[in-house]
Amino acid sequence: MKRRRARLELVDDRPIRVHRTRFEEERNPPPIQPMTARQAEYLDALGSHPQVIVLGPAGTGKTYIAGTRAADLLRQRRVAKVVITRPNVPSGRSLGFFPGTLEDKIAPWVAPLTETMKERMGDGAFEIAVKAGDIEVVPFEVMRGRTFKNCLVILDEAQNTTPAEIKMFLTRIGDDTQVIINGDVSQTDLRETSGLRTVIHLVKSRMMPIPIVEFGLDDIVRSGICAEWVRAFEEARV
């Protein structure tokens, strides 16, 4: 018995080595760093305003930063829920009806945001949050009558909302909620007035305290190829 006791004491005296696992690193990634001055403006606006409108061409980080912030706020328990929505307007020819529930049908439309959140949180943590209702994808069809409180709400591809739709969306917002409205007014797929244009006009004409962050062609960071094509189409006015 004495030998066993002595051995236990020896083991207990050894210094404990702490190893960081990949899962811990995924749950505690470093803060996102801006790649451009406009991204820094975007991050500053998100840190100081309950509503932010962000505009600009593809590849500027609009969706990536929104998804990363959503993942971080949820992981740090600074919000109770993340709500993601977007109008279900295709950007080209339709592939037909998607099977499943309304949530299943809208999932492909919000993939850029959810994939960013998965990358930031880790697949396992993301799936747990979805099952717990901490991440919710809300189709416009079922949004009427809802109230969003103590959460982060992201409206992606807002240029494809009608004025009536974006009014309905904005009047769902309750207390302790941050709203990110993301879009590119030059890429609307509607044949009528864009709700995003209406909101921009209201904010500017009424001097509402809502920052509008506008990315330009020089802010494209996705790749040189992306920047080259966006610039080419912009100059050709296609």
Confidence of residue 98 (pLDDT cuts 50, 70, 90): low
In a domain? residue 170: yes
**pLDDT tens readout for residues 77-93:** 999 999 999 886 554 44
State which of 12-16, 196-200, 226-230 shows the largest mean pLDDT.
196-200
State the CB neighbour count (10 A cutoff) for residue 110: 23
**pLDDT tens readout for residues 101-152:** 555 666 676 888 999 999 999 999 999 999 999 999 988 878 888 999 999 9
Domain CATH number, residue 198: 3.40.50.300
**pLDDT tens readout for residues 199-231:** 999 999 999 999 999 998 888 887 778 778 878
Average pLDDT on 2-17 reads 41
Distance of CA 188 to the CA centre of its chain: 19
Q: What is the pLDDT of residue 112?
A: 87
Compute the mean pLDDT over every residue in the chain, rounded to the nearest whole number. 82
Q: Per the structure block, which two tokens stand in for 177? A: 């909620």
Q: Per the structure block, which two tokens stand in for 210? A: 């809502």
In a domain? residue 128: yes
In a domain? residue 193: yes
Q: What is the pLDDT of residue 101?
A: 57
Q: What is the pLDDT of residue 48?
A: 96
In a domain? residue 18: no
Domain count, the chain: 1
Cα(149)–Cα(116) distance, integer angstroms = 23
Q: What is the pLDDT of residue 69?
A: 95
In a domain? residue 65: yes
Would the pLDDT of 233 be above 50? yes
In a domain? residue 13: no
Host domain of residue 170: 34-236
In a domain? residue 24: no
In a domain? residue 215: yes
